[in-house]
């Protein structure tokens, strides 16, 4: 787990890259001096490899609230917009 000061230091080292456009969408990459590559797995892979568990927050269940637990040493990236549908054996991530 990273400390707040480590995160702030990392964010301070980011630079805005050149705009990349396709149609009516333009994105600006964030560039840093950190190590190349990524040491994380995405949510769907983490669930498939049983590195994490997603459960209801209560017996009755409360939509849209779920509990996420990383039960491994791997870093798992949850992307805003990932969607879990149905029972634990029926899920869609994307």
Tell me the per-residue pLDDT of 34-52, one tens digit each, with 9 for 90 and over.
666 678 898 889 999 999 9
Query: Is the residue at 87 inside a domain?
Result: no
Dihedrals phi, psi of 22, to nearest 5 degrees: -145, 115
Average of pLDDT values for 86-93? Answer: 46
Query: Is the residue at 30 inside a domain?
Result: yes
Domain that holds residue 38: 4-77
Query: Is the residue at 55 inside a domain?
Result: yes
Query: Is the residue at 41 inside a domain?
Result: yes
Q: Check residue 89 and give its pLDDT.
A: 41
pLDDT in tens, 5-15: 888 888 888 99
pTM of the model as a whole: 0.51
Query: Is the residue at 83 inside a domain?
Result: no
For residues 5 and 12, is the Cβ–Cβ distance under 8 A? no
From the number of C-beta atoms within 10 Å of its C-beta (0-12, 13-18, 19+), residue 46 rates as: buried
Q: Check residue 66 and give its pLDDT.
A: 80
pLDDT in tens, 66-83: 888 999 999 998 888 777
Query: Is the residue at 21 inside a domain?
Result: yes
Query: Is the residue at 48 inside a domain?
Result: yes
Give all strands (DSSP E) within 39-90, no chain letters.
40-42, 52-56, 66-70, 75-77
Distance of CA 31 to the CA centre of its chain: 18
The tally of domains found in the chain comes to 1
Distance of CA 60 to the CA centre of its chain: 26
Tokens matching residue 71: 């039960």
């Amino acid at each position: 787990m990273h400390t707040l000061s480590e995160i702030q230091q990392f964010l301070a080292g980011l630079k805005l890259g050149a705009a990349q456009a396709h149609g009516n969408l333009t994105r600006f990459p964030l560039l840093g001096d950190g190590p190349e590559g990524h040491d994380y797995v995405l949510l769907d892979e983490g669930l498939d490899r049983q590195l994490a568990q997603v459960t209801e927050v209560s017996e009755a269940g409360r939509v849209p609230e779920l509990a996420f637990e990383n039960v491994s040493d791997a870093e798992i990236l949850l992307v805003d917009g990932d969607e879990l549908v149905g029972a634990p054996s029926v899920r869609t991530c994307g």
